[in-house]
């Protein structure tokens, strides 16, 4: 396959057929890259790398959407993180092709999906690392650099730092992690295994209302008062369900209702029957 044929494949991400498969395209890109490196053509090798990254971002986004539809939420979250990483690597070298390959859409909606997840706390390790250059495999020493630049493309591969020795010094709990994979899960008290205790109702609601991965949607976040009848177990001296930290009778009880977050979705494609209607989530 040629560069142009592969570009056409990537440009048809919304409607392409099962053949050729993404795996076949990966093989074709790898062949183009090998040929470019053999000829000493760094421009062509870099172009192959850019196509490889674009394909990876597309595949990870489509895989994330499948996970959202099937209820595999943490797996979908990890795939969305992979999309973010793919595009972060790629934007330094090529953004011209993004509209054609729908990467601008993918970036926008990756962030939208991530904003719906209930994860609030993450694990951030403190590490002592020894690293080497992925190109020449020389030890990384800031004062005596090897000459290769992290993030640049050499022979169709991005230069990065490879960890050769690792020591964990500590662990912190953070709200804004560098790596989003490290979601904090509870352990089951009976068998000691990690269990997913999160409420994914908002994510499921959006996933159920979409027909295809590239359907457009928007979300508006506001606050609205919910009827007191929805909080029958909350006593006057209990903490207010609005989470202000005040007592119920000193906060929302004298008002017309409890002030709670309100999400309003707009779907630009008609949702399937039974989806997209109003839903209350505790």
- Give the pair of three-digit tokens for residue 186: 């509870």
Helix-, strand-, coil-residue percentages of the chain, each rounded to 5: 40, 20, 40
Residue 202 has pLDDT above 70, yes or no: yes
More confident residue, 56 or 22: 56
Q: What is the rounded average pLDDT of the residues 243-259?
A: 95
Q: What average pLDDT does range 47-61 have in this prediction?
A: 97
Q: Which long-range contacts (CB under 8 A, 24 or more apart) does 35-42 make?
A: 36/156, 37/155, 37/156, 42/153, 42/154, 42/155
Measured CA to CA, the distance from residue 241 to residue 247 in angstroms comes to 9
**How many other C-beta atoms can be found within 10 angstroms of the C-beta atom of residue 146?**
15
pLDDT band at 282 (very low <50, low <70, confident <90, very high): low
- What value does the mean pLDDT take over residues 69-73? 96
Q: What is the DSSP letter of 138?
A: P
Per-residue pLDDT for 275 more than 80?
A: no
Confidence bin at 193 (pLDDT 50/70/90)? confident
pLDDT beyond 80 at 265: yes
Contact 60/86 with Cβ under 8 angstroms? Answer: yes
Mean pLDDT is lowest, of 7-16, 99-108, 148-157, 273-282, for: 273-282
The residue-averaged pLDDT of 103-128 equals: 94
Res. 171: pLDDT tops 70: yes
Please list the residues that pair with 153 across neighbouring strands: 158
Gap between the Cα atoms of 208 and 275, Å rounded = 6
Q: Does 145 have pLDDT greater than 80?
A: yes
The DSSP secondary structure of 1-39, one letter per residue, reads --HHHHHHHHHTTTT--SSS-HHHHHHHHHHHHHHHHHH
CA-CA-CA-CA torsion sign (199, 205, 210, 215): negative
Nearest-angstrom CA–CA distance, 73 and 206: 12
Residue 281 is predicted with a pLDDT of: 65
Q: Is the pLDDT of residue 279 over 70?
A: no
């Amino acid at each position: 396959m040629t560069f142009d044929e592969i570009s056409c494949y990537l440009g048809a991400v919304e409607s392409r057929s099962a053949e050729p498969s993404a795996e076949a395209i990966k093989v074709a890109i790898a062949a183009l890259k090998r040929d470019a490196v053999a000829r000493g053509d760094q421009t062509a090798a870099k172009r192959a790398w850019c196509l490889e990254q674009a394909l990876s971002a597309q595949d990870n986004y489509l895989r994330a959407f499948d996970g959202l539809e099937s209820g595999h939420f943490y797996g979908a979250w990890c795939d969305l993180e992979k999309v973010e990483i793919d595009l972060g690597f790629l934007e330094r070298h090529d953004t011209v092709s993004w509209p054609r390959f729908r990467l601008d859409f993918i970036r926008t909606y990756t962030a939208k999906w991530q904003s719906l997840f209930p994860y609030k706390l993450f694990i951030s390790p403190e590490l002592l690392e020894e690293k080497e250059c992925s190109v020449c495999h020389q030890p990384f020493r800031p004062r005596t650099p090897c000459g290769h630049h992290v993030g640049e493309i050499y022979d169709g591969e991005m230069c990065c730092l490879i960890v050769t020795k690792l020591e964990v010094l500590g662990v912190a709990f953070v709200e804004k992690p560098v790596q989003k994979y490290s979601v904090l899960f509870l352990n089951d008290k009976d068998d000691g295994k990690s269990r997913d205790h999160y409420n994914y109702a908002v994510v499921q609601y959006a996933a159920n209302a979409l027909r295809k991965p590239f359907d457009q949607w928007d979300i508006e976040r506001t606050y609205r008062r919910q009827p007191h009848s929805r909080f029958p177990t909350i006593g006057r001296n209990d903490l207010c369900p609005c989470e202000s930290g005040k007592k119920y009778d000193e906060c929302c009880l004298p008002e017309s209702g409890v002030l709670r977050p309100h999400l309003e979705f707009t779907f630009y494609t008609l949702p399937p029957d039974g989806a997209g209607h109003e839903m209350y989530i505790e």
